């Protein structure tokens, strides 16, 4: 390694300890071919820390577990819900002010993917 080339002087004592800086993309995306970003529209998942306009990291390769937040297709609508696997599988809102989510009778439900991270912007964008 010739990080310092022919530069004179003392080598940096940090040279032996150099590592790549933390890569945010690698932190958020563990399985790239199966990972997609989604945009949130609405406030029904506030109690899960997910707000209107947030960006979600969704991994399709994960096996859904109890309490996962999932992108679910309910009768052809793309929606965001909390999955409950205790007892009969159920989908729920995460917002105390809303009534329980009742899946329509005979609804066709498909799990599109599991939400692994939420990107919530804290600093407002200037108009």
Partner 1 sequence: MEPAPPTGGAPVTERSFALIDGNSFYCSCERVFDPKLATRPVIVLSNNDGCAIARTSEAKALGIKMGDPFFKIRDLCRRERIAVYSSNYTLYGDMSRRMGWIYESWAREVETYSIDESFLDLSNFRLSERAELARDLRATVLRWTGVPTCVGIGPTKTLAKAANAMAKKDPEARGVVDLTDPAERQARLDRFHVSDVWGVGPRSWAKMEALGIKTAGDLARMDPRQIRMKFTVVGERTLHELRGVTCIDLETVVPQRKGIAVTRSFGRPVTTLEGLIEAVASHAFRAGEKLRRHGLAATHLSVFAHSNLHNGDPHFSAGATEDLIEATSDGLALIAAASRGARRLWPPRGAKLAKAGVILDDLVRADHAPAALIGGRDREKADRMMAAVDAVNARFGRGAIISAAAGMKMPWATKFEMRSPRYTTRVDELPVARAG
40, 50 Cβ separation under 8 angstroms: yes
Q: Look at residues 54, 23, 13, 24 and name the one whose alpha carbon lies nearest to residue 37.
A: 54
10-49 residues in contact with partner 1 (CB under 8 A) are 31-34, 36-45
From the CB of 21, what's the least distance to partner 1, in Å? 18
80 is a contact residue toward partner 1 (CB under 8 A): yes
Question: What three-state secondary structure class fits 26?
Answer: helix
Give me the torsion for CA of 45, 46, 48, 50, rounded to 10°.
80
From the CB of 108, what's the least distance to partner 1, in Å? 9
* 79 flagged as catalytic: no
Q: Look at residues 108, 37, 97 and name the one whose alpha carbon lies nearest to residue 72.
A: 108
55 is a contact residue toward partner 1 (CB under 8 A): yes
Query: Cα(40)–Cα(55) distance, rounded to whole angstroms?
Result: 6
- Applying CB under 8 A, among 76, 87, 99, 104 the residue interacting with partner 1 is 76
* 84 flagged as catalytic: no
From the CB of 101, what's the least distance to partner 1, in Å? 10
Question: What single DSSP character describes residue 43?
Answer: S
- Judged by the rule CB under 8 A, the positions of this chain that interact with partner 1 are 31-34, 36-45, 50, 52, 55-56, 60-61, 71, 73, 76-80, 93, 95, 98, 110, 112
Q: Which residues are catalytic?
A: 44, 81
């Amino acid at each position: 390694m010739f990080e310092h080339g022919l530069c004179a002087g003392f080598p940096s004592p940090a040279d032996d300890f150099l590592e790549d800086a933390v890569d945010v993309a690698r932190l958020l995306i563990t399985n790239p071919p199966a990972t997609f970003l989604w945009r949130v529209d609405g406030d029904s998942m506030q109690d899960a820390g997910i707000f209107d306009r947030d960006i979600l990291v969704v991994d399709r390769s994960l096996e859904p577990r109890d309490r996962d937040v999932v992108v679910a297709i309910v009768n052809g609508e793309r929606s965001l819900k909390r999955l409950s696997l205790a007892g009969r599988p159920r989908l729920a809102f995460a917002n105390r002010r809303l009534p329980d989510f009742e899946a329509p009778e005979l609804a066709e439900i498909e799990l599109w993917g599991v939400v692994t991270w939420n990107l919530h912007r804290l600093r407002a964008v200037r108009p």
